[in-house]
Amino acid sequence: MTSTKTRKTTKTTQRGYLQELARRVLVYDGAMGTTIQLLNLVADDYGGAAYDGCPEILAVTRPDAISSIHVAYLEAGCDVLETDTFTGTRLKLDDYKLGGRTLEINRAAARLARAAADRFSTPEQPRFVAGSMGPTGMLPSSDDPALSNITYQQLAELYREQAAALMEGGVDLLLIETSQDILEVRAAITGIRRAFAELGRSLPIQAQVTLDTSGRMLLGTDVAAAAAILQHLHVDVIGLNCSTGPEHMREPVRYLTENIPLPISTIPNAGLPLNVNGQAVYPMEPDPLAQALAEFVSEFGVNVVGGCCGTTPEHLRRVIQTLRELPPAAQQRPIERLRRFASDASATQPTRLLVASAVRSQSLRQVPAPLLVGERINAQGSKKAKEAVLADDYDTLLTIARQQVESGAHVLDVQVAVTERGDEDEQMRRTVKKLEMGIEAPLVIDTTEASVVQAALETYPGRAVINSVNLENGRLRVDAVLPLAREHGSAVIALTIDEQGMAKTAARKVEVARRIYDIATQEYGLDPESLLFDTLTFTVTTGQEELRDSAIETIEGLRRIKQEMPGVLTILGVSNVSFGVKPHARAALNSVFLHHAVRAGLDAAIVNPAHITPYAEIPEIERQLCDDLLLNRSEDALARFIEYFERHGATA
C-alpha cells in the first residue's frame, strides 16, 4: 500500500528531463545492440527465421531479455534508458517485413523501458526514458542515386510515425541519434513536431550526430555547421554519439560546450572498434572511458554522458562512480555553464548569427562588414545564368558559383525563375542539389514563390536564407513563407514593401519593417537575428525625379531599423542602384553607395564580388560625382556623372 502511495507521489512530483538537467549531470545507459549480441539469441527468440537479427522485435518476442538489459543499467545507477528502437522506423523494420507492426513494436519497447525506469525511480533519482530513433539507412543529401532516393516528406513521415508510437508508450524525450546526414535529422525533427501536433503535447528533443575521426559527419558536415542547424531548429539538447571513443570527441565537445547555449551530450563508443576475425571489438576498458567522460564534465561542462557501442553495465558503473568522486566544484561546472548562457541571454549569442551549408557554418555578421552575397546565379540578372537555366546546364551554374566564392562571396543568392519555363520548383531543387554538393558557401534562396522556397529547403541540408517576404499582398506571403522559415530554422530577408507599394521614405521603411518584425517574432517565434531587412535600392541613374532622394532614404531607413529593432540585420541589393550606365560608372557608384550604407550599419550586400572596387581606390573626383548623385547634392549631378564617365570609362 505504502509503495503505491509513494509511486503516486513520485509520479506527480517527478521533475521533467530538462528540469533535472538543470540540476545535475545525467548518465545514459550503455550499449543495447552489442549487449543483445552477447545473449546469443537464436531464431526462435526473434519469432522465427524471418525476423532473426531484428533487435526491435525482441521487445515483443523476448520482453524479458530486453527488460533484463534495462534493469542491468538501472542497477548500475544510470539515470536514462534508451528504448530498443534504434532501427525502428517503418523503413528499417521493412527489412524484416515488419513495417506493418511499426506502431506495436515501438509502443511495446517504450512501455518496457518505462516500466523498468518507474520501478527504479525515486524522488531523489528520477529515471527517464529516451525514445531512440536512429538513421533510416538512406542518405538524402548524398549524390548516390539509390541512397538519396527518398524525399524530405517521406522521411518526416517515417519519424512522425515512430515518434508518435514512442510517445504513446510513455517516453520522456525523443532522441535522434547516430545521425549521419544532417538533412535526415532535419526531416526527423519535422516529423517529431508533427507527432507533437497530432498528440496535442510535446516532449524535449535531443539530437546527436556522429562524427568520424576527422571531426565530420559522413557527408562532411562539421560540428559547428551541425550545431548551428540544430540550434535553429530549437532542439533542447545537442550532442555526439557513436563512431569513435571519447578522445576523438574532445575538440568537437569543447566547441559545443563553449558556443552552444544548450545542454550538451556526449555518448562515445568503448573506443574505436578493432576488427577481430570479422567482428567489431570495442577495446576501451571501463576506467579510461570513465576518466575521459568525467574530464568532459569537469573541464567543459558536459551535461549528459553515457555509453554507445561496446559499453557494458560495468562501464557505466565506473562512469557513475567517477563522476561522484569529482570535487563538488567540478560537478557543478555543467550547471554553471548553462546559467552563464542564460544570464546573458539578452546579448546576441554569436551562434544565432550562423547560417550553414552542408559542410560548414558562416556568420551573417562579418567584421569588417559587409557579408558579401554573390548575385550572379540569377536568371533575371545574368544572361549567362539564364541560358544555363534554360539548358538545364547545372555545371555552368556551379562554375559561376565557384567563381564568386573565389572572388570573395561569403554566401550565394540563387534565383532560377524564367518566364520561358513553368517548373521553377524543380529547377530550384536541382540547382540547390548541385550547389550543395559542389560548394561550401551557404545559399540564399531568391524566389517569389512559397512552393519554390519549400522545394529548396527540403533539398538543402544546411541553414539557408530565404529571399524574401514582403507585405505587398497583405499577409499572403509572410503567412506562406514564415512557417517554412520556422520549420526549417532559416533566416529570412524582408523587403520594405506593403499594400501601398515599395516604401520610399525612411519613415515608411521603418513602419513596414516594424510590421514584419512583429509578425515574425511574435507570431512565428523567429529570432530578431534571423531577420534581414532590405530597405530597397532604387536606380538613381535613370533621372526619375521622384527617386532623387531614394539613396538617402534607403540608407537612413536601415540606420533606423537597426536602432529601433535591436538584433536584426540589414541587407541591400547594391547593383540595382546603377542599372543602365557603363561598367566603370556602375563600379564606382556601387562602391560609393555600399560605403555609405556600411557606415550606416549595413550588414550584408548582394553584389557581384568580382566587381567590388574598394572605396579607397576610387579617385576623389569620382567619389565626388557619386556622392553628388547619391546624396542629391545638386540639380545637375546625374548629367555631370554621365558626362564624366562617358569620357573616362574606357581608360579606367
Strands 501-502 vs 497-498: parallel, antiparallel or unpaired:
antiparallel
Asked if residue 179 has a cis previous peptide bond (ω within 30° of 0), the answer is no
**Cβ proximity to ligand THG, 383 vs 647, nearer residue:** 383
Amino acid letter, 249:
M
Q: What is the DSSP-derived secondary structure letter of residue 83?
A: P
505 sits near ligand THG (criterion: CB under 6 A): no
Q: How far is the CB of 639 from ligand THG (least distance, A)?
A: 21
How many whole angstroms separate alpha carbon 122 and alpha carbon 26?
A: 15
Q: Which residue has the cell 539509390?
A: 146
**Cβ proximity to ligand THG, 243 vs 537, nearer residue:** 537
Which residue spans within 3-151 are E strands per DSSP?
A: 26-27, 80-82, 128-133
Strands 361-363 vs 354-356: parallel, antiparallel or unpaired:
antiparallel
Instruction: Supply the DSSP string of 593-620, one letter for each residue.
Output: HHHHHHHTT--EEEE-GGGPPPGGGS-H
Among 575, 585, 638, 642, binds ligand THG (CB under 6 A): 575
Which parts of 200-240 fold into alpha helices (H)? Answer: 223-232
**Total number of residues binding ligand THG (CB under 6 A)?**
16
Query: How many alpha carbons fall within 13 Å on the CB side of residue 85?
Result: 39
Q: How far is the CB of 501 from ligand THG (least distance, A)?
A: 15
Q: How far is the CB of 494 from ligand THG (least distance, A)?
A: 9
Among 140, 381, 442, 557, binds ligand THG (CB under 6 A): 381
Binding part of the chain for ligand THG, among 170-178, 418-426, 544-552, 571-579 by CB under 6 A, reads 571-579
382 sits near ligand THG (criterion: CB under 6 A): yes
Q: Angle CA(435)–CA(437)–CA(440) in degrees, nearest 5?
A: 75
534 sits near ligand THG (criterion: CB under 6 A): yes
Q: How far is the CB of 447 from ligand THG (least distance, A)?
A: 10
* Residues paired with 264 in a beta bridge: 238
590 sits near ligand THG (criterion: CB under 6 A): no
* Site mask for ligand THG (CB under 6 A), range 411-430, x = bound: --x-----------------
Binding part of the chain for ligand THG, among 244-252, 259-267, 381-389, 562-570 by CB under 6 A, reads 381-389
Binding part of the chain for ligand THG, among 15-23, 104-112, 174-182, 569-577 by CB under 6 A, reads 569-577
For 240, phi and psi rounded to 5 degrees?
Answer: -125, 145
* Residues paired with 24 in a beta bridge: none
Q: Angle CA(18)–CA(113)–CA(179) in degrees, nearest 5?
A: 65
**Cβ proximity to ligand THG, 356 vs 606, nearer residue:** 606
* Site mask for ligand THG (CB under 6 A), range 463-482, x = bound: ----xx--------------
175 sits near ligand THG (criterion: CB under 6 A): no
606 sits near ligand THG (criterion: CB under 6 A): yes
Among 136, 454, 537, 554, binds ligand THG (CB under 6 A): 537
Binding part of the chain for ligand THG, among 74-82, 179-187, 337-345, 570-578 by CB under 6 A, reads 570-578
148 sits near ligand THG (criterion: CB under 6 A): no
Q: Collect all residues with Cβ–Cβ distance below 8 Å to 619 and sequence separation of at least 6.
A: none
Task: Identify which of 69, 74, 79, 67 has the alpha carbon closest to the alpha carbon of residue 112.
Answer: 67
**Cβ proximity to ligand THG, 181 vs 375, nearer residue:** 375
Q: What is the DSSP-derived secondary structure letter of residue 19?
A: H
- Can you give the binding site for ligand THG, defined by CB under 6 A? 375, 378, 381-383, 413, 446, 467-468, 493, 534, 537, 573, 575-576, 606
